[in-house]
Every structure is written in C-alpha cells, then in structure tokens.
Amino acid sequence: MKYLFATFLTFFLFLSACGGDEPTATISTGTISGTVYDASAGTPIAKARVITEPPTGSVTTGDNGTYEITNVEPGTYHINAAKFGYDSAGVNISISADVTTTADIPLLPDSLSTP
C-alpha cells in the first residue's frame, strides 16, 4: 500500500511540475485604418479593395471610403488600394503593437478610362 501511495504521489508531483501554469505567449498586434479617396476631387471612394503586402488581410471600403484591418503583426507593410476606374496606389507603413496606424490612400482616375 505504501508503494502504491508513493507511486501515486510521485506521479502527481510530476504532473504538477509539468502542469500548464506557465503563461502562453501572446502576440500583440496593431490596426491599420484610413480612407481611400479620389485624389482629384477629394471625395471618398466606396467599395475600393485594400490589401496588405505581406498578406495579413484585405477589406473593402465602406460607403464613406473608410477601412480597418485588425490583428496585424508589428512590421513594415505596403498597403495597396484598387477600384475599377482608378489607377491603383499604395503607401508604406510601419505597424506597432497595440497602436492604430492611419494610412489614407489617394487614387487618381484611371488614365485609360478618362476621355
């Protein structure tokens, strides 16, 4: 009986030592937000596609031309916006943890579709 108790106690202490009390690593992320707008008229562009390079996310602008990409790991990114009828354009930004970085992107009307 003492042997069984000692074995059980040893096993319990082993599990306690291995036990999951250590904190898990979490990665703090940032957010990118901004407005895509017509560079010649200054008006917001709805339904423009905004993507990041390297890829972390892509979104479509709302009716007011604004967008937000969340959970972006810290680093340097190229943010590109595109919309039919406009030349695509982008900006380079640096993302920091727990910070919202603004990246407004002006688009010029597509030179091929303009008379």
* Any domain includes 16: no
Tell me, what DSSP letter sits at residue 6?
H
| Count of structural domains, the chain | 1
Instruction: Read off the pLDDT of each residue in 109-113 and give the average, rounded to a whole number.
Output: 77
* Any domain includes 3: no
* Any domain includes 14: no
Tens of pLDDT along 53-66? 999 889 999 999 99
Domain carrying residue 74: 31-104
**Overall pTM surpassing 0.75 (yes/no):** no
SS3 5: helix
* Any domain includes 71: yes
Per-residue pLDDT for 26 more than 90?
no
The b/e string for 8-47 (b: 16+ C-beta within 10 A; e otherwise) is: eeeeeeeeeeeeeeeeeeeeebbebebbbbbeeeeebbee
Mean pLDDT, the chain, integer = 85
Task: Report whether 32 contacts 101 (CB < 8 A).
Answer: yes
